A and B are shown apart, each in its own frame.
Chain A
Amino acid sequence: MEETFQKTVERVKKLNLLKEDDLKLLQRVDAASAELVNSEYESYLERKFNDKAIPLLSRYKVMGIPIDRRYGGDGANSLVHCLAMQRFGQVGMGIVTLVDVHQFLGSLTLQQWGTEEQKQRILPEAAEGKSVLAYALTEPEAGSDPSSMASSFETNDDAYILNGSKYLISNGSIAKYVVVFARSKIDGAISAFIVDSKTSGFEVAMRLSEKLGLFTSDTALLEFHEMAIPKDALLGKLGKGLSVAYSALLNGRIGIASGCIGVMEDCLNSCVERAKYRMQHGKEIGKHQLIQKHLAHIATDLESARWPVYLAAIMKDELDADLKNAELLRSVDRQSATAKLIASRNAYDAADRAVQIFGGFGYSILSPVGKHLVDTRVARIYEGTDEIMELKVASSILGKEFEAYK
């Protein structure tokens, strides 16, 4: 195992929070991550989607980490899933985004809200990596406020007819199934659907490559033109789509936060290596106090983010065993927002400090810490911006009537 990851796994194991099966799974995740480094880096240099990632993750059987064993997955709990995402984060946020959307926003959402028929039809394929899942909530005019979405649906005797567009959809052009949200033309209530991307009227309007970073992850603009989907594509109850959306984002935020821990670990490892061999002013740069200051910042920011993220995962496991506990749901929602806010900010700052330690080379396209800098910035935006996370935390302290983002 990668040394930093092994230390973490051993530390968590001492707390009696890991079983033998979990360790085997994490070993597969570690091996997959070690092999992913090459293709991820090469794809980044060429500014293109890493098309080797899904076959590789499937080969190591890590596409179905949280999917119940009944459907062919590992059935890992949130903490184990969080550790896996942490290891993927060392490789980079491109892999984290692919896996987070497929597993947290896609598979787990289907597992929680889907019918038995939907789960039996889709989850085994998803666990094997034969199908990739995506999550389509954001629209060109509806970002932090999903309730303002314009995508709509009508109902006829045997189908829902969807129209609209979805923007910045990770895995959007490679997904076989997409969790789609749309508003009823009758009463305006939002519903969730699981849509087969081969459905007539489903169009990948654009593969979005004009990003600051995250080139190795697929991002698309989707359009739906009179797209007729069967009635059994409804996910959860009619008109209760925002509950589905928010529960998915709660999960997803833990995934992104976990990935950010891995980014910080890789930045710290790279900087320690650099500080020990790079000579300036007649000594290793690690012997200069201002370099040590950067290293200390990264290391303390890493530890100050790590445990809030693990706590969010542990609390999510408690919630999974007590799904109707509304008070616990609010606590987990707050912890998930807290974890993402801290981890994504700290990871971006760690990458920035790492670029500074690497000096001119840090600014080169060849620099892996430079890759982290451009790839991690989006973690402060997607699945809830820093500002929305702050407002969620504040309103959870003040009370529901103080929700400033509504």
Chain B
Amino acid sequence: MKFHLAGKVKINAPRDNIFASLSNPEFMATCIPDLQSFSVADQDHFSAKIRVGIGMIRGTIEMRFSIEEKKPISHARLVGEGSGAGSKMRIDSVFDLLPAGDSTEMIWAADADLSGLIAGIGGPVLKGQSEKQVNQIFQNVRSKLEN
């Protein structure tokens, strides 16, 4: 099952700071909600064990991420693949950072491909839940970079 997500977020921080942070696995690890464990293979590859779920129904998935197409300080692509909780998923996302005065506008888009148990939940709910998760990550990014 496939779906597409996209959005933009304004962050009150300079582009170079944001780019450096977003391409730093250790920083990103601090922004992922319900992260259970995390390991860095090299500066462009890392893996994470994340508790995911909705309400009281929860499971754990292990994801491997790679940062690709790095174009400092404006663009990067993050690809994640993993499995767990009877499901498999692949997420292919791109980020573009645009100057917006003293701030930066981040435009992002992601394509998700899910199979197994989680895919049964279906488009509208999964999309809504994913948007909620992404918003939580960006809120964490903002609060760390803007303070």
Question: Is B57 within 8 A of A45, CB to CB?
Answer: yes
State whether A367 touches B121 (Cβ < 8 A). yes
Please determine whether B54 and A361 come into contact, CB atoms closer than 8 angstroms.
no
Q: Is A42 in the interface zone, CB < 8 Å from B? A: yes
The answer to whether B121 and A366 have CB atoms under 8 Å apart is yes
**Bound CA span A172–B49, Å:** 44
- Chain A residues with CB under 8 Å of B57's CB are 45, 365-366
Q: Which residues of A, 167-204, contact B by the 8 Å Cβ criterion?
A: none
Check A361 against B117 for contact (C-beta < 8 Å): yes
Q: Which residue of A lies closest to B124 (CB)?
A: A37
Q: Does B132 touch A at the CB level, under 8 Å? A: yes
Please tell me the number of chain B residues within 8 Å of chain A, measured between CB atoms: 18
Q: Do B128 and A366 touch (CB < 8 A)?
A: no
How far does the Cβ of B42 sit from chain A's closest Cβ, in whole Å? 34
The answer to whether A38 and B120 touch across the interface, beta carbons within 8 angstroms, is no
Please give the distance in Å from A364's CB to the nearest CB on chain B: 7
Which of B1, B117, B132 touches A38 (beta carbons < 8 Å)? Answer: B132
Shortest CB–CB separation between residue B69 and chain A, in angstroms? 27
Contact with B along A1-16 (1 / 0, CB 8 A): 0100000000000000
**A43 CB to nearest chain B CB (Å):** 8
- Taken together as a complex, chains A and B put the C-alpha atoms of A37 and B125 apart, in Å, by 6
Q: In the complex, A41→B117 CA distance in Å?
A: 17
Question: A2 CA to B127 CA in the complex, in Å?
Answer: 13
- Complex-state Cα separation, A367 to B120, whole angstroms: 7
- Using CB atoms, name the residue of chain B closest to A278: B119
In the bound complex, what is the Cα–Cα distance between A139 and B68 (angstroms)?
65
B33 on interface, CB distance cutoff 8 Å: no
**Interface residue from B55, B122, B123, B128 paired with A46 (Cβ < 8 Å):** B55
Question: Which residues of chain B have C-beta atoms less than 8 A from A365's C-beta?
Answer: 57
A41 touches B123 (CB 8 A): no
Is A273 an interface residue when CB atoms closer than 8 A count as contact?
A: yes
Q: Does B139 contact A (CB under 8 A)?
A: no
Once A38-B132, A361-B117 are accepted as A-B contacts, the answer to whether A273 and B122 lie under 8 Å apart by CB is yes
Contacts of B117 in A (CB 8 A): 361, 366
Alpha-carbon gap, A366 to B117, bound state (A)? 9
Q: Is A266 at the interface (CB under 8 A from chain B)?
A: yes
Contact yes or no, B124 A364, CB < 8 A:
no
Least CB distance from B118 to A in Å reads: 9
- Mark each residue of chain A from 31 to 60: 1 if its CB lies under 8 Å from any CB of chain B, else 0: 000110110011001100000000000000
Q: For residue A367, which residues in chain B have a CB less than 8 angstroms away from its CB?
A: 120-121
- Does A368 interact with chain B (Cβ within 8 Å)? yes
- Smallest distance from the beta carbon of B120 to chain A beta carbons, Å? 4
* Interface membership of B115, Cβ < 8 A: yes
Partner among A45, A266, A274 whose Cβ is within 8 Å of the Cβ of B54: A45
Q: A38-B132, A277-B115, A364-B120 are in contact. Are A45 and B56 (CB under 8 A)?
A: yes
A269 within 8 A of B: yes
In whole angstroms, what is the CA distance A358 to B56 when docked?
Answer: 22
- Distance of A364 Cα from B125 Cα, bound (Å): 15
Contact in complex: B129, A38 (CB < 8 Å): yes
> Chain B: which residue is nearest A367 at the CB level?
B120
Judge whether A270 is part of the interface by a CB distance below 8 angstroms.
yes
Contacts of A46 in B (CB 8 A): 55-56
* B56-76 with Cβ < 8 A to chain A: 56-57
Chain B residues positioned under 8 Å from A35 (CB to CB): 128
CB <8 Å contact, A274 and B56:
no
Q: Complex Cα distance A278/B120, Å?
A: 9
Contact indicator per residue, chain A 108-151, by CB within 8 Å of chain B (1) or not (0)? 00000000000000000000000000000000000000000000
Q: Quick one: closest A residue to B129, CB to CB? A: A38
Instruction: List 13 additional A-B contacts (Cβ < 8 Å) besides A90-B124, A277-B119.
Output: A34-B128, A35-B128, A37-B128, A45-B56, A46-B56, A273-B122, A277-B2, A277-B115, A361-B120, A365-B57, A366-B117, A366-B121, A368-B122
What 10 pairs across the A-B complex have the smallest Cβ distances?
A361-B120, A45-B55, A38-B128, A37-B128, A277-B1, A270-B122, A42-B55, A41-B125, A46-B55, A37-B124
Binding site for B on A (CB under 8 A): 2, 34-35, 37-38, 41-42, 45-46, 90, 266, 269-270, 273-274, 277-278, 358, 361-362, 364-369
25 contacts between A and B (CB under 8 A): A37-B125, A37-B128, A41-B54, A41-B125, A41-B128, A42-B54, A45-B54, A46-B55, A46-B56, A90-B124, A266-B124, A269-B124, A270-B122, A273-B1, A274-B1, A277-B1, A277-B2, A362-B120, A364-B120, A366-B54, A366-B117, A366-B120, A366-B121, A367-B120, A368-B125
